[in-house]
Structure 1
């Protein structure tokens, strides 16, 4: 891995090994499939994606990218895990999803190539897996057009998040493979807000994502103590 690429080789290898399971609804990626309708509805309610050029950063196997394309967006999904991208491309072919393309490229490189090119940028469940999240936020800001929206989701860093997102989800309930997350890489909302301000993005909306492990029900709320999302806008 090029030392200038903002990615952890171990993280890429981890997700590449699981790549063939991205679209298995009973696999480790089941939670992403279950929360995807909530995420998509929240994004679309703030910045309707139909007929818009959308970038999905850290798209993995394409769960969100595919659903945004089906909502009428022209979507580019990018990732550095090549096996996951191949799965995403294969799924798009099998599902006949038009309007979505995938590319193996870092967000920083794409920002240098195509500044201010997208109406909407999404970066979901990705910041907690990279060495320099501020660099990703800055690149996302550079990629969106003036007046466009950038959405982030990640995990708060506190005792509650450690208990639920790591001990609970990975070790007790087995919802995720052990080692999926590293506590020290979690990001407090205040830290992400600072990254956004430094990148020239205005924070407009926040939302928490909650979960009942017994009923497997997810819902959005004002509680950002564990999983949370930001909707930011680049000044016009």
Structure 2
């Protein structure tokens, strides 16, 4: 199984707070509109069949469903999926949440999705290349795949680990392992070797003075990548 038990436990312990915008998941709540708008601008979600890999408590999944997508969300965290399913009673949305790995679903449903998203997940798994290959298998020829993760360099360590976890305390200590951060060049190489063409790359920055996130050209720390599967 391409999952770190300690990572699964870490998110299981926090799962009940997933939909609390003032909890450890506050950064996800604040960047979610930016992520949704970016994805929707590159591939209008209305009517698309979408797979959200590493969906957690369903924040992105619900956002895409609200925009008219038919969403399947998968995760290996049972508690997070339980929270996601429970929140559907509040939102009234129709999302298929499944406890299954990306690799297993790729064998079961190859080429079945118009769009595949895998955001804020690659830096938490032992073998990100395996996830990327699964994404390429799951998406239809010509389909869209969206990733987001954290760059690996001294600036990213300073801001994402020291700054966010220890100084600003935006995230619990130990949320990120610097060794698992992924350079854009590495992610692009994994994509190309899996049959995906890189279409767009954009950065995500946080201003601690204004406490505002924004999309920009600076990919030094957080970044998002859009790829297309070969036709």
TM-score by length of 2: 0.99
Are positions 1:198 and 2:196 aligned together?
no
Q: Which residue of 2 aligns with 1:153?
A: 148
Aligned residues between the structures: 231
Q: Which residue of 1 aligns with 2:46?
A: 50
Are positions 1:186 and 2:199 aligned together?
no
Q: How does 1:49-198 map to 2 (within 5 A)?
A: 49-98=45-94, 100-198=95-193
Alpha-carbon distance, 1:235 to partner: 1.6
Cα distance in 2 between the residues matched to 1:115 and 1:54 = 13
Cα distance in 2 between the residues matched to 1:221 and 1:56 = 24
Q: Aligned-residue CA RMSD in angstroms?
A: 0.5
> Structure 1 stretches (4+) deviating beyond 4 angstroms?
none
| Structure 2 runs not aligned, ≥5 long | none
| Structure 1 runs not aligned, ≥5 long | none
Are positions 1:32 and 2:28 aligned together?
yes
Q: Which residue of 1 aligns with 2:208?
A: 213
CA offsets, 1:40-77, max 9 Å, x none?
A: 00001001111110000000010000000000000000
Cα distance in 2 between the residues matched to 1:144 and 1:49 = 14
TM-score by length of 1: 0.97
CA offsets, 1:142-184, max 9 Å, x none?
A: 0000010000000000000000000000000100000000000
| Correspondent of 2:16 among 8, 13, 20 | 20
Cα distance in 1 between the residues matched to 2:72 and 2:89 = 15
